[in-house]
Amino acid sequence: MNAPMPHPRNKVVSAEVAAGLIRDGDAVACVGVIGWITPDHMLKAVGERFARTGTPRGLTFYFPVGTGDAVDIPGMDHVAREGLMKRIVSGSYINPLNPRTGQRPALMGLIRENKVEAYSWPIGATMHWLREVARRSPGYLTKIGLGTYADPRHGGGKFTTRCQDDLIEVMDFRGEEHLFYPTWPLNVGIIRAASADEFGNLSWEDEPLLSSNLQIALAVKASGGKVIAQVRRIVPRHSRPVSSVRVPGVLVDAVVVDPEMVMSTDVAYDPGYLGMANHPLQLGPLPISPDKVIARRAAREVRPGEVSIFGFGASSDAPQVMAEDGLLSGDRLYDYDFTTEHGPFGGFVMSGWQFSANWNPDALLDGASQFDFIDGGLCPFAALAFAQFDDAGCVNVSKFGVANPGAGGFIDIAANAKRLVFTGTFTTAGLDCSFADGRLSIVREGKVRKFVTTADSITYRVRDGVGRGQEAMIITERAVFRVEADGLVLAEVADGIDVKTDILDLMEFKPVRIADPLPRMDPALFK
């Protein structure tokens, strides 16, 4: 018996055919959150087509979030090729060294060598800007980011000197300053879902994040462009509840199937990330280290019943040390409302390459809606990392040394929280510590100071926030500071640490006050 002929509206094609939809000079938007929901198979096909044929050339890539991890899921590294990539606009960049090769991502090389136009926008702007493209508005208007590196007066988000165009403007609206992000058309969208039928209707039943899939599809179609969807499987039409089909087929032009698609690096598939776990999360204890001390101290600032949002880095280790200390055992986990900037609510915040998707969450928002939640002030407590803090009260996580991670969701989160905790080691690049009997000893000091006269980049003006009523503190492995309107106050110090030689002499500016008496950090933090 002959197999049935495909329907004439069947949209399933090979990755090579889909890559052929991209023309020289196109603007290409792509979804992805580190390794999660990254259409890696399609990005690889685009990079391979260029390597094979020299086309498409001169593309502008728009990544609302850093896409891929440059380890098992290269993501944006597939298209980080000189000639293929002319410009990139991204809400974050992947910086960490590959733990197996010791290499930084290829895209970081292009940026450091000034071979592409690289722009960095806050993720709140990258998400909400897509909505403005979708409804054909002039652009996105916001106060978030004024005075930061996104402000044209402080760089306008330009990460390379090749950047000549001003993609962000300062605009006066009703007598007040705002940042304005003008819209421009997107020609191609590359998104990812779990399943599609042959007509291109997309569902996310196997994916723990939604991110900007829908927003990219709407923006690209409003621009008259083409949308390519990568999926794990093709399913019959009407085989899924319509509530799980989040993107209708009218928004999709091509469907590419990758049956080997994994959830993320080191996670082929785990229903726990879908909120369907029937067993507790198994995590071994973190070894004692400066990061663990910092996470323990930060965990003491987390309150039951208060929505708490965690950023990438040592701050995202706080839930794990809370679990180690029994604070999240049994039903006690439900006393806490944990989230990240990428939309999961409840459950357990993961760290490392698994950061972004919570394990066993209760609910999920898409990326744009999550930033509505954040910008609306509905995350009262935030724990975020810091790379530098300066004498003017500015914190930097966006650009320092050879690293160009961008802000991610940091600016939106920091600007709208009521209580802020910034976490990080006191110095970096070679810091080595030992711990005994509740005391901290510095075996080798880090080569790079983090409390500096002037930060390399302004990610958030903390003292301005404190002046508006925010509470802010900085937690390191050896000291805790409060940020007050007139400067830093040294509030706690670890046993074994000399205030002058181990703290004050290593700061390029001095605290405005030292608590008197100066409390000691709890020795239990160091055990």
Distance, CA of 246 to CA of 194 (rounded, Å) = 11
3-state class of 415 per DSSP?
helix
Residue 464 amino acid letter: D
Which of the 8 DSSP states describes residue 67? B
Helix or strand holding residue 295 (H, E): helix 290-299
Of these residues, 324, 341, 477, 492, which one is catalytic? Answer: 341
Distance, CA of 489 to CA of 300 (rounded, Å) = 19
Is residue 477 part of the annotated active site? The answer reads: no
Decide if 451 contacts 389 (C-beta within 8 A).
Answer: yes
Residue 365 amino acid letter: L
3-state class of 98 per DSSP?
coil
Q: Within 13 Å and on the Cβ side, how many CA atoms surround 376?
A: 8
Distances (CA, A) of 511 to 386, 387, 504: 17, 18, 8
Q: Within 13 Å and on the Cβ side, how many CA atoms surround 104?
A: 14
Count the Cβ atoms, other than its own, within 10 Å of residue 277: 16
Report residue 453 as tokens.
């006269």
Which one, of 107, 87, 84, lies nearest residue 24 by Cα? 84
> 327 φ, ψ to 5°?
-75, -15
Count the Cβ atoms, other than its own, within 10 Å of residue 459: 29
Which one, of 367, 323, 327, 360, lies nearest residue 345 by Cα? 360
Decide if 49 contacts 56 (C-beta within 8 A).
Answer: yes
Decide if 40 contacts 363 (C-beta within 8 A).
Answer: no
Count the Cβ atoms, other than its own, within 10 Å of residue 296: 24
Distance, CA of 311 to CA of 300 (rounded, Å) = 16
Q: At what angle do helices 123-134 and 213-222 cross, to 10 degrees?
A: 40
Q: In what order do the strands lie in the sheet with 451-452?
A: 451-452, 388-390, 394-396, 460-461
Which one, of 205, 252, 211, 208, lies nearest residue 230 by Cα? 252
- What residues act catalytically? 341
